[in-house]
Every structure is written in C-alpha cells, then in structure tokens.
C-alpha cells in the first residue's frame, strides 16, 4: 500500500496539485504548532476541527475562511482523490 501511495505522490500532476496547498500547509503548521506537510496531516486538522465544531466548541479565529468550507476542505477532498487515484490503490485501500 505504501509503495502504491508513494508512487502516486511522486507523479508530476499530483505534485503540481499538492504544491497549490503549500501556503495553506505552512499556515497550518504555524497556527497549530504541528508540522503539517501532507494532505494526510491536513485531513487530520480538518477532522479535529470538525469534531470540535460538532461538540459546539469555539474554534480558533484562524479557521475562518478555511473551515468548514474553503481551502482546508479542498485539500481534504484532494487527499481522498489521491487515496482513490486508481484501481490498484482502491483495491489495497479497501
């Protein structure tokens, strides 16, 4: 599975799309204090924010404009595109 994902992540068209989120990931790193350098880690931030929101808790100010809709949702959707990129990864991913 890891080899298949690594191959997909190495494709130029995927690298180009990921690079569109570089600024977002740098900002997420600054805002969260955690290194966010992949779509998987950005998905983790989205999931945490969704959990907090579902519990009715106040979200940090920096989430305005990127969550629940916006760039953070976009990179989350792209993460799922990567993990369903072709039949092989779909089979391996279940």
pLDDT in tens, 10-30: 999 999 999 999 999 999 999
Low-confidence stretches of the chain (pLDDT beneath 70): none
| Inter-residue contact 82 to 17 (CB < 8 Å) | no
DSSP code of 62?
G
Quick one: pLDDT at residue 92?
87
DSSP code of 63?
G
**What range defines the domain where residue 60 resides?**
2-93
Alpha carbon separation from 38 to 9, 78, 87 (Å, rounded): 10, 11, 22
The count of structural domains within the chain is 1
């Amino acid at each position: 599975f890891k080899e298949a994902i690594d191959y997909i992540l190495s494709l130029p068209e995927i690298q180009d799309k990921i690079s569109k989120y570089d600024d977002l990931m740098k900002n997420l790193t600054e805002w969260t204090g955690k290194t966010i350098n992949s779509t998987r880690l950005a998905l983790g931030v989205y999931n945490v924010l969704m959990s907090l929101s579902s519990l009715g808790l106040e979200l940090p100010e920096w989430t305005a404009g990127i969550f629940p809709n916006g760039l953070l949702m976009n990179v989350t959707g792209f993460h799922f595109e990567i993990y369903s990129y072709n039949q092989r990864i779909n089979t391996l991913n279940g």
